[in-house]
Chain A
Amino acid sequence: MRRYLRRIIQSLSALFLNGYWYFPISRTIYQGQLKSICSPGLNCHSCPAAITACPLGAIQNFMAGIRASVEAARYHFGFYVLGWLGIIGGLVGRMPCGWICPFGLIQDLLFKIPGRKIRIPDIFSYGPYIFLALTIFILPIWVVDAFGYGFLWFCKFICPAGTLEAGLPLLILQPTLYGMVGHLFYIKVAVLFFFFTWSVLASRPFCRTVCPLGAFYSFFNRASLFQLKYHPEKCTHCELCYQDCPVDIKFYESPNDIRCIRCLVCLRESCAFGAISWEMGGIEGQSSRPKTSLVNSQLSLVKKTQLPDLTNDQ
């Protein structure tokens, strides 16, 4: 149960955020008041089952309409969505990526498919910040049509969640949309296919190389109320946390790294030496508890030369 807790919570949130199961009968998307709230993870609001708004879609809409809103003296700058995401980030940092985001869950499940696995080079970790700056803020504000409205660059040209959760199901539900399908749709299907394939080979490639929402949350990891704590005196540098980490972080070198999705695998499953614990607003949480049988089996796996001398205390 403990081992599957995260998967259960991820699945329940995906089901909850996509809880409008009446769509096969209504043949359209949910249009109720809950859509004024943004989901904490990437979940397309044009998905027929989605009951919340997508934060990235909402911010782009604000940025694309910023000129028109100023001209009309409405002054809509997206503070509501940015504030909401900032509150989540301030509380738990990137934890929605590890526990709530439906597109994170999809990538996790694809990575479970057995086969050869590859690592993602560190250089790609700049990608999300470039996509955040360019496709969410700069281009939607800068490039506008004759009426002063910008485009939703991330949704339009990249977002594989939109293609998967909205594009494909809506084409099935509303066949009249087929007439509007053009090159752009096929490009987006290719992008989706590319990330699906990459997700089988590498862990969380979209999160680590593209996702602007993860990039936004990452700014809060080191300053959030929730923090992971490292206890160097207990660490044996066995590297089990590194081997299990879905985003290839060496916890013992960089606790609360900006790439950490707060999945807590290192704390709950990997570390058998009590070298990792958590803290929230001054309340100390449980440390990764030493498990005698696990310690013994792990010790036998680790080269003795890497370990501090634990037997010579006196």
Chain B
Amino acid sequence: MRKGPFIIIGVFLLLCLMGTVTGEVRYVLEKAVSICLDCIGIG
């Protein structure tokens, strides 16, 4: 069985967890719950 995909998934899982422990989930939420004027083209 190919090991490559498992290594890739493991590395990105680690990255995801690092982002989670540094509070990035909250940051994503903060940005996504307010209307982004750039997104709608009037920012």
Contact = CB atoms under 8 A, between A and B. Distances in A.
Given A35-B28, A46-B35, A156-B38, A79 B22 contact: yes
Contacts of A225: 5-6, 9
A199 interface: no
Interface in B1-43: 1-2, 4-6, 8-9, 11-20, 22-29, 31-33, 35-43
Contacts of B14: 83
Nearest to A28: B35
Contact of A185 (B4, B15, B41): B41
Interface in A173-223: 177, 180-182, 184-185, 187-189, 220, 223
Closest 8 CB pairs of A and B: A80-B19, A83-B16, A86-B12, A83-B15, A79-B19, A53-B32, A80-B24, A188-B41
Interface of A: 28-33, 35-36, 38, 44-46, 52-54, 57-58, 61-62, 74-87, 89-91, 151-152, 155-156, 159, 162-163, 166-167, 170-171, 177, 180-182, 184-185, 187-189, 220, 223-225, 281-282
Nearest to B10: A90
Given A28-B35, A36-B28, A166-B40, A91 B4 contact: no
Nearest to B4: A223
A37 B4 CA distance: 26
A101 to B, nearest CB: 17
B19 A57 contact: no
Interface of B: 1-2, 4-6, 8-9, 11-20, 22-29, 31-33, 35-43
A188 B37 CA distance: 12
A46 B27 CA distance: 15
Nearest to B1: A282
Contacts of B12: 82-87, 89-90
Contacts of A187: 41
Nearest to A156: B38
Contacts of B2: 282
Contacts of A62: 24, 27
Contacts of B16: 79-80, 82-84, 86-87
A58 B32 contact: yes
A74 B23 contact: yes
B22 A75 contact: yes
Nearest to B31: A61
A283 to B, nearest CB: 9
A170 B40 CA distance: 8
A83 B17 contact: yes
A34 B26 CA distance: 11
Contact of B32 (A57, A80, A156, A162): A57
28 contacts: A29-B35, A31-B33, A33-B29, A35-B29, A36-B28, A36-B29, A45-B31, A53-B31, A57-B31, A76-B23, A76-B24, A79-B19, A83-B18, A85-B12, A86-B11, A86-B12, A89-B8, A90-B5, A90-B9, A90-B12, A152-B36, A152-B39, A166-B35, A167-B40, A167-B42, A225-B6, A281-B1, A281-B5
For A29, A74, A90, A224, the residue with the greatest tally of chain B CB atoms inside 10 Å of its CB is A90
